A and B are shown apart, each in its own frame.
Chain A
Amino acid sequence: MILDAFVQLGQMMVVLALAPLLAGYVRKLKALLLGRKGPPLLQPYRDLLRLLRKEVVLAHSASWLFRVAPYLIFAATWVAAALVPTFATGLLFSYAADMIAIVALLGSARFMLALAGLDVGTSFGGIGSSREMMIASLAEPAMLMVVFTVALLAGSTQLSTIAAFMQGPGVGLRVSLAMALVALVMVALAENARIPVDNPATHLELTMVHEAMILEYSGRHLAMIELASFVKLLLYLSVIGCVFAPWGIAVSGQGLAAYLGGLAAYAGKLAVGGFLLAVFETAIAKMRVFRVSDFLGAALMLGVLATLLLFVSRIA
């Protein structure tokens, strides 16, 4: 119990501490792949600190919602990330939210972000909110279908149980799981505003989505939103790692060595995931915004197909 509480607390701190590093790592890799030197690994931390120290400039038409939203977005994302097993299962509060609830928590964060985009009353904020909700309207059901697939196999929507099941011998190679993995990766790209859906590096481009929503934010508010988006990227990599590569996750009650091993395995997974992301983003071009619906529609169909296969293959 005490140990579980420590693991829970440690996990919350680990995701918060590692998230900017992951973002810096991916940026660095992308720069290297493009033959540039790139910013140092720790640049995101410096950016966050710089933003935190600056004063906030609010538009005249900004309401209280605009000022509250960054903290709520950050809180919802952080709570969601705290409930995904990263280096150890047996989180104290893992029963508070299953995978469906985690998806919905991210939905809450997005809801606030989209509202904040509309709050000042500019055309860029509106364009970002409107496109974000269009993307979400396809990405969220695709994500839920992935959850369905995994949950049907593991007989549970709890991430700890799923991770334990995936480590067990009963899994084997399954077509459904492969489809679910592809769908999940596509959703993760869309949800984190990565290429080919959105470009995290641009700021002045007509196809931008995420950046358009937060255009009016500055100072500490912007820092909270940036941090939330770093945590979200980490969360998706953690979910992929926890469900599809659960090796090395420490189980509750094992010794300190197991936890250290779990941490090392987690760091390795993040390194591999970030590397693949950087390679993928460098290799592919951004698509037109109205092609995104084809991209995510494919993810949704893959998810539905994966679920359907499981329904059909289970003979009562």
Chain B
Amino acid sequence: MTARAFDAGSVADARAAIPSPWRRAWTANGPGYMFLLPWFIGFFGLTVGPILISLYLSFTNFDLLTAPQWTGFDNYARMFTADPKFIASMRVTFLFVVFSVPLKLAFALCVALVLNRGMKGLPIYRAVFYLPSLLGASVAIAVLWRRLFAGDGLVNEALAMIGIQGPAWISNPRFSLWTLVILAVWQFGSPMIIFLAGLRQIPQDLYEAADIDGASRWRKFWKITLPLLTPVVFFNAIIQTIEGFKSFTPAFIISGGTGNPINSTLFYTLYLYQEAFGFLRMGYASALAWVLLAIIAAFTAFSFLTSRYWVHYED
């Protein structure tokens, strides 16, 4: 370093000219990391850490009151060979997802297509269809649903008016799951909004070109609309499926926390809750959580891998 007579500028220049690697890294990365600090703490403390710990716990018996005892693969073995409730909850959750997601998306797409014709009152209709998905996840709606579908509830009264004698939906194991599917499908408003936005993005000139070629409505749908919507369909399908697997509140409220009758409403998360907080079998519950994670990961990977065959990205 030279001398006496300096001015701030030249010192700064000098410093900048020969910066130490530390300082350079810090000036470059420092702000980024500082802003990310809350997220880092949360990510490691509330996400990564717990994921690893729950993996460990899944190999133990842990009742919160005493230290975890290592049991190896016992929990997993039990799950797949000696736990009828696990099989039941898997089946129930799969059925729920397999039926509610396509139905939800179908309704969402159909209504979005109709609304996209640019009719008067679009904002009102859109709001009306969207409202249920805002309210749907609440305890209040689940309580209402339980009452609507009871043996003497509104649904059966309505059916009676057209001469059908409805079953006791909620207390009959053959029908109880369908009340939950109907509740899920009722909330199609949120994917509908996304479809509407996706439809709006399709360039108008494609349709005009097709019109010139004399294409029918159906052809235009199949050849233009649907292919260009596939990214949105894909996105919606993944989000709705994952949401379906996480569903808890409606099943809990409608079955009174039991998953009955005969485990027909025993959603996977409800079963996990029962094991963890009802019986304090935290080790087993952790194993259940990991199986769920594996399934969702497999599903997501599968979806992404096969998406190239049917999803058209406009690049």
- State yes or no: do A and B come from one complex: no
A interface residues, Cβ below 8 angstroms from B: none
B interface residues, Cβ below 8 angstroms from A: none
